[in-house]
Structure 1
Amino acid sequence: MNPTATLLPRTLPWAGALALLLGAAGPVGAQTTPPTQPPAGTLAASQVATGPWTLQRAIDYALEHNLTVRQNQLTAENGSAVLRQSKAALLPTANLNGSQTWNYGQSVNPLTFEFQNQTTRSNNFSGATQVTLFQGFQLRNTIKRNTLDYQASLGDIQKSRNDLSLNIASQFLQLVLSEELIRSNQARLNSTQQQVERTQKLLKAGSVAESNLLDSQAQLASDELSVITAQNQRDIARLQLMQLMNLDEASQGGFQIQVPELADPDEQAPLSEDPAATYQTALTLLPEIKTAELRVRSAEATVDVARGAYLPRLVFGGSVFTGYSSARTVTSVGSDSTARKTTFFVEQPGGGPVIPLNVLLYQRNTTVLSQRYWDQLDQNLGRQLQFSLNIPILNGLQVRTNVQRSLIGVQQARLNAEQVRLTLRQNIQQAYADALAAQRQFGASRRQVEALTTAYRNAEIRFNNGLLNGTEFNIAKNNLATAESTMIQNKYQFIFRRKVLDFYQGRPLAL
């Protein structure tokens, strides 16, 4: 079994790719959301990508330039805007309206409501305000729900930052591992090259058979292939790290990391962490736990919003309106007058004949004019106050259906929160088991390397003296190479597993 198959938690989505890079055999287990890091400190300022990159510098740069983190920040900003809008819904609404209309032919005068057959121009102006006095507490419950959603979105930002930090640490260690494998394979290649040169001299002296030289040359070709394979893995690991960091093209050419000094697992104290205690600590630190709980409370607030539709709605409103019509006229009485002759017939007392009586009457002259614009606006001014009460009785069972759906949403949110906690506990248990196994495997691998090193030196002496053929010597050498590679990989498995456990306990990611 290749020990590199357990370098990363099986539930991490990037475990499969990294396991393949390390030469892991067999499929990676079920994948879920990776564990996240407790809230980190303030981001470092934007920095120029020059010189070797440390792990902390790579994390800071990635957090500042990663697109997923930016998307989550925009999502949180959108949630903040939604929250402000729900708070503003408690305020009264106020609107002004104005219109200008031309009527041709038969129409109704908008001010006198009389039919007329003429071309008129009219203006209507109004201002209205409205405030909701009671709406089943829906407005306040909506504010409560949106506040919880906004807080949850802030947790999503922190979770994406923590996920990215852990991914960067994983890929950084993968690059360090690749560099060490290159050095190991290059050392074996140099040793094989020297062995070929010695074998050539021994062959010329007649001390060994030609088959020994052929076997050494074949081993040299295999070692060259191992170096090239390790270099390819190093290049892929570097590329993936730069992609995670979203490094610009100008900085990719000279990208190098600062290789830290990492102690071997057997030089460190045995694992003493209690998975149960680590789980309890992680529950108080990881943002996804708090986010899941906030979304449960948000779902419960959604139920309260839906139930509020059962209650009556009381709204108070007021408006002011006025208007103007070109068809409206006024009669103007002039200062001059016109004399008019009028005849009256007067009956005689006692039944005598009717006597005509001519009387001269004076009547003032009048003129019909269109009423002035501002006079109409002043005279047509009207005001209105209104209370509106809406009592829901039957609306196609919409309210009841919405309440049932929101109750189901609460159950889904609770199950999701339980799944998040379950995944966290499983990840901690798996990380602890893998770290303990990697530490034990490293100790066994080191003892194996020590034993195979002694066997290889003995085989080399025998091979140089012609007492061992090339095939058996190459087998001894390849066994040692495999053991050394396994020991190196076990070392980095343990380092990463240990960092994962530190991560769950609130310690920063540092090498």
Structure 2
Amino acid sequence: MKQFVFLILVCISASWLPGYAQGKIWSLEDCIKYAVDHNIQIKQQTLQTRMQKNALEQSKMNLLPTINGQASHDYSFGRALDQNTYTFYNQTVQSDYFYLGGRTTVFNGMQNLNTIQRNKYELLAGEQDLQKITDNVSLNVALAYLQILLNKELVTANENQLNITLQQIEKTRKLVDAGSAARGNLLQIEAQAAQEEVSLVTMRNQLEISYLNLTQLLELETPAGFEIVVPDIHVDQNSIVSGNIDEIFNLATQTRPEIKSSELKLAASEYDLKIAKGARSPSFSLSHTFGTRYSYIKDLPMQSFEDQLKNNKNFGLGISMNLPILNGWQVNRNISNSKLAVENSQYALEGTKKQLYKDIQQAYTDAVAALKKYSASQKAVSSSEESFRYTEQKFNVGMITPVDYNAAKTQLLNAQSEMAQAKYEFIFKIKVLDFYKGLPLNLNTITSN
């Protein structure tokens, strides 16, 4: 009975949890966090960073002495030498050998220490690369999120226009029935309504596509039931794009992960050069050994296993020097290639800074242009609304044709659409600039003034 009740509870929970997930309303912060947690590129770079950490730990362990053991059991047939008595016997001799030894690098041109430093900088650079991928994912999610908000406004604008047209159809139909208006006017307005329905369907399709794009960035299986928070975003008419390109660039060079990564990779390449130069230096190492053995010959008096191991112990300690003289010019070639790698890393850092400056320059210019466009669009919408109200009044009393009426309504819709597009383009560019300044990515504030 208890198992049956438990099974029912599990089934109820399984059916309730998906509905709960679908019923969740996602904020921009929720979307960014979820995308970062589930993005495949971020997971791959995380694994890469962990491998770089392992490489760093291994380079530190390489400073320790190496110790290895060996054991063997041998048979000697025919004329064989007993290693204990140094006597030859024409019998089978069984021997056991035990060995423990290793080597310690005393000096090798600082290559081990420089390898540790190189791996450390490569690990730090990998962490910055991980942050760069995270930032790119966050920006892409923010852009997709704002695209949904834009399409929602465009759908609402199209719905409002269609509702106005449907209301006008009812008014015109009554006038036609009363004989106060020509039937052609009604037909023209109905044709306009049909076109607006097509436009509305198109905008709804674009909204569905924008939902799909965002859910794909979040690695969700389906956009079904997915909904986002619609924040109250207001752009002040007196807004300005704060700061200038150089100020934002100076802030970005201190915080942006792509700059830090390039700087760290340059440092790593410099240590690679030191490693290559270290190969010119003589290397010194210590060797240390310990060994013992046991021999057994059938039908001959022999010491016990323990006594032989004790009496046959031997120790060894040595020092060796390796002096590179001529190795096919390999050392010099490695040094030359390392110098080229340092120079290439310097160019990479310079190129990253230039690309960052171009990106900031483009985002700043786009933000200024979008703000100007938004301000002009506000005036256009205000004028178009007033013009449409006047045109609608004239149409209601039969002073203008449906063609003029539809033209005024289309002009209003276009003005509203352009204003919405300029608004969200401005918001995104401002958020990009805030991102370069090191500010968090959210829609709570629009820091443009």
Count residues with an aligned counterpart. Answer: 424
Change (3 A) 1:398 1:459: same
Q: Quick check: 2:128–2:260 contact (8 Å CA) kept in 1?
A: yes
Partner of 1:414: 346
Q: Quick check: 1:192–1:216 contact (8 Å CA) kept in 2?
A: yes
Q: CA deviation at 1:389?
A: 0.8
Partner of 2:32: 59
Pick aligned residue for 2:295 from 314, 325, 343 = 325
* Deviations 1:471-492, CA, capped at 9 Å, x for gaps: 3332222222111101111111
1:236 and 2:168 matched: no
User: What code does the residue aligned with 2:365 have?
Assistant: A
Change (3 A) 1:121 1:248: farther
1:83 and 2:53 matched: no
Greater gyration radius: 1
User: What code does the residue aligned with 1:281 have?
Assistant: L
**160-169 or 253-262: which moved more?**
160-169
Paired residue secondary structure (1:369): coil
Partner of 2:111: 138
Q: Quick check: 1:136–1:312 contact (8 Å CA) kept in 2?
A: yes
* Deviations 1:116-162, CA, capped at 9 Å, x for gaps: 76544322110002110110110010011011111111212222222
1:450 and 2:382 matched: yes
Distance 1:181 1:117 in 2: 103
Change (3 A) 1:183 1:112: farther
Paired residue secondary structure (1:233): helix
**Pairing of 1:98-109 with structure 2 (within 5 A):** 98-103=71-76
Partner of 2:235: 264
Distance 1:97 1:204 in 2: 109
* Deviations 1:329-365, CA, capped at 9 Å, x for gaps: 7xxxxxxxxxxxxxxxxxxxxxxxxxxxxxxxxxxxx
User: What code does the residue aligned with 2:285 have?
Assistant: V
Q: Quick check: 1:138–1:304 contact (8 Å CA) kept in 2?
A: yes
Q: Quick check: 1:431–1:497 contact (8 Å CA) kept in 2?
A: yes
User: What code does the residue aligned with 2:267 have?
Assistant: R
Distance 2:30 2:232 in 1: 17
Distance 1:221 1:112 in 2: 113
Identity of aligned residues (%): 38
1:463 and 2:410 matched: no
Q: Quick check: 1:135–1:312 contact (8 Å CA) kept in 2?
A: yes
Q: Quick check: 1:265–1:495 contact (8 Å CA) kept in 2?
A: no
Q: Quick check: 1:196–1:217 contact (8 Å CA) kept in 2?
A: yes
**Pairing of 1:238-257 with structure 2 (within 5 A):** 238-247=211-220, 252-257=223-228
Partner of 1:193: 166
Q: CA deviation at 1:59?
A: 2.0
Change (3 A) 1:133 1:48: farther
Change (3 A) 1:460 1:122: same
Partner of 2:187: 214
1:396 and 2:366 matched: no
Partner of 1:182: 155
Q: CA deviation at 1:232?
A: 1.5
Pick aligned residue for 1:289 from 255, 259, 264 = 259
1:157 and 2:133 matched: no
Q: CA deviation at 1:215?
A: 1.9
Q: Quick check: 1:207–1:465 contact (8 Å CA) kept in 2?
A: no
Q: Which has the higher helix share?
A: 2
Partner of 2:318: 386
Paired residue secondary structure (1:301): helix
User: What code does the residue aligned with 1:460 have?
Assistant: E
Structure 1 length as normaliser, TM-score?
0.77
Change (3 A) 1:292 1:375: same
Partner of 2:304: 372
**435-444 or 210-219: which moved more?**
210-219
Paired residue secondary structure (2:25): coil
User: What code does the residue aligned with 1:407 have?
Assistant: K
Q: Quick check: 2:161–2:196 contact (8 Å CA) kept in 1?
A: yes
User: What code does the residue aligned with 1:85 have?
Assistant: Q
Distance 1:384 1:368 in 2: 31
User: What code does the residue aligned with 1:259 have?
Assistant: V
Paired residue secondary structure (2:181): coil
**228-237 or 63-72: which moved more?**
63-72
1:489 and 2:401 matched: no
**Pairing of 1:158-173 with structure 2 (within 5 A):** 158-173=131-146
Distance 1:123 1:132 in 2: 30
Q: Quick check: 1:265–1:491 contact (8 Å CA) kept in 2?
A: no
Q: CA deviation at 1:171?
A: 1.4
User: What code does the residue aligned with 2:67 have?
Assistant: A
Change (3 A) 1:230 1:117: farther
**Pairing of 1:299-314 with structure 2 (within 5 A):** 299-314=269-284
Paired residue secondary structure (2:301): strand
Distance 1:192 1:112 in 2: 117
Structure 1: where are the runs of 5+ without partners? 1-46, 330-366
Distance 1:199 1:109 in 2: 123
Distance 1:59 1:499 in 2: 14
Structure 2: where are the runs of 5+ without partners? 1-19, 444-449
* Deviations 1:198-241, CA, capped at 9 Å, x for gaps: 22222223333333222222211221122212212222222222
Distance 1:497 1:416 in 2: 26
Q: Quick check: 2:22–2:225 contact (8 Å CA) kept in 1?
A: no
Change (3 A) 1:187 1:113: farther
